[in-house]
Amino acid sequence: MNDQNDSLFINLLYVLPMAIVMFFYILRHKRRSKVHKEVLRESVESGLTEPATLHPVFDPNICIGSGGCLKACPEQAIGIIDGKGILISPALCIGHGACANSCPVNAIKLVFGTATRGVDIPQLKPNFETNVPGIFIAGELGGMGLIRKAVAQGSQAMEAILKRGRSKTPHDVVIIGAGPAGIAATLAAKHHGLRCVTLEQEDTFGGTTLHYPRGKIVMTAPMNLPIIGKVNIKEISKEALMELWENVVNEAGIKINFGERMERIEHQDDTFSVVTNRGSYLTRSVLLSIGRRGTPRKLDVPGEELKKVVYRLVDPEQYQTMHVLVVGGGDAALEAAVAISGEPGATVTLSYRSNAFSRVKPKNRELIQAASDSGRLTLLLESTVKEIRSSTVKLDQKGTEVELPNDAVIVCAGGILPIPLLKEIGIKVETRHGDA
């Protein structure tokens, strides 16, 4: 009997600690699941259920709920509910794909579009050439939001263009866009001795990353840049990545035409004419390395051409002691208005055409309301801009004219997707509904 008691005691000695550990493990995971369910509920109620770009889809039959994807996602867009991975904040996902790489059982597939919202992706050959001979696409527009792979695509596209041979045109290739794919392509063009010109509509490089909030962590991986060699980065802030691109451009001695926007591409025989806001370029090949944000949507009102009008917030500090009008009702507009309202001496007005902010993150809605309640900014709902002048701006709010003192206007009205441009050129586009 004593032997049996001793055996029972020994078993309890080993089993009890394990039972205690399992109890707290299950308790912790239940609590985490409850929190993630609440985040998902808020996303659904806010209408923020459609990812803007490349995003993960989890196979529940494979997923083991390891949590590696959570640790790999700095945006906290992923959650674990009832032991399975799920995208709980789709609007926060920026498509870097680190979650898929972190999954130990390959339960994550990166896709574009959903069953309810299709995403148009141009048809490309393995060498990134479209169905229009001589026009190539690399990077986000072609369905690749990952920085490392966009860089590889830009380089590989130049190798394909090199194989096409030279022509009698002034340029072998015109590269449109100076994001990761465009910069890599420009480096490769110089490396191969191709006559190249690179155009960028913004006043700096960086592609889609340029539009991320200040301090945002950008996930990437070691990448090989022509001329420069291997660059080892895994997790880097937006500002550090911008500085990296600047150093790369300076070190390699490549030239980028900033502030030059491509307006159309004309095609005749074996020659393309790339028409911009500054002129035109004759070339045998064209590489489109632009993002999916497209060209900023404008207000089309008198005075919008004034230099004080911009289409994104770069640094809130530059608006200290200024009268600022922010136009828009999305997250970008609300975040810009709140950020500037915290600057000393800044007077901020947020104009939005609707009577409520619907498809925005709950936290941004709370912050904008708190800023309004505290008097740090003025909300003008159901209002539209009618005219922008050098020192004032005129708006219409429910039939009443409102004129405000103004030093700066920030328009956050989204972008015009470049898909119509592609179709106009003759490039075939297919709609993805959650396909890889």
Report pLDDT for 171: 95
**Taking a C-beta distance cutoff of 8 angstroms, is the pair 422, 294 a contact?**
no
Task: List phi, psi (to 5°) of 363.
Answer: -65, -40
| Neighbouring C-beta atoms of residue 328, cutoff 10 Å | 22
- Which pairs count as long-range contacts for 374-377, CB under 8 Å and 24+ apart, including other chains? 376/341, 376/342, 376/348, 377/337, 377/338, 377/341, 377/348, 377/349, 377/350
In this structure, what are the phi and psi dihedrals at residue 424, rounded to the nearest 5 degrees? Answer: -65, -35
- Residues 307-361 have pLDDT tens digits of 999 988 878 999 999 999 999 998 889 999 999 999 999 999 999 999 888 778 7
The answer to whether 289 touches 128, Cβ cutoff 8 Å, is no
Cα–Cα distance for residue pair 146/150, rounded to 1 Å: 6
Mode of pairing for the β-strands spanning 377-381 and 347-352: parallel
> Residue 98, CB half-sphere, CA atoms under 13 Å: how many?
24
Provide the whole-model pTM.
Answer: 0.69
Plot region of 281 (φ>0 → left; ψ -120 to 50 → alpha; else → beta): beta
The pair of structure tokens assigned to 180 is 């990761």
Task: State the residue for tokens 């104009």.
Answer: 351
| Structural domains present in the chain | 2-111 (3.30.70.20), 120-294+418-432 (3.50.50.60), 309-415 (3.50.50.60)
> What is the pLDDT at residue 117?
81
What pLDDT score was predicted for residue 353? 94
Which parts of the chain register pLDDT below 70?
1-16, 21, 23-25, 144-145, 205-221, 234-236, 293-294, 435-436
Q: What is the SS3 assignment for the chain?
A: CHHHHHHHHHHHHHHHHHHHHHHHHHHHHHHHHHHHHHHHHHHHHCCCCCCCCCEEEECCCCCCCCCHHHHHCCCCCEEEECCEEEECCHHHCCCCCHHHHHCCCCCEEEEECCCCCCEEEECCCCCCECCCCCEEECCHHHCCCCHHHHHHHHHHHHHHHHHCCCCCCCEEEEEECCCHHHHHHHHHHHHHCCCEEEEECCCCCCHHHHHCCCCCEEECCCEEECCCEEECCCEEEHHHHHHHHHHHHHHHCCCCEECCCEEEEEEECCEEEEEECCCEEEEEEEEECCCCCCEECCCCCCCCCCCCEECCCCCHHHHCCCEEEEECCCHHHHHHHHHHHCCCCCEEEEEECCCCCCCCCHHHHHHHHHHHHCCCEEEEECEEEEEECCCEEEEEECCEEEEEECCEEEECCCEECCHHHHHHHCCCEEEECCEC
Q: How many CA atoms lie within 13 A of 97 on its CB side?
A: 20
pLDDT of residue 436: 58
Per-residue model confidence (pLDDT) at position 209 = 62
Q: What is the pLDDT of residues 389-430, one digit of tens each?
A: 999 999 999 999 999 999 999 999 887 777 888 888 899 988
pLDDT of residue 193: 95
- Give the pLDDT of residue 314: 78
Of 73, 114, 81, 146, residue with least CA distance to 434:
114
* Token duo for residue 68: 């590696």
Q: For residue 35, count other CB atoms closer than 10 A to its CB.
A: 14
pLDDT value at residue 199:
96
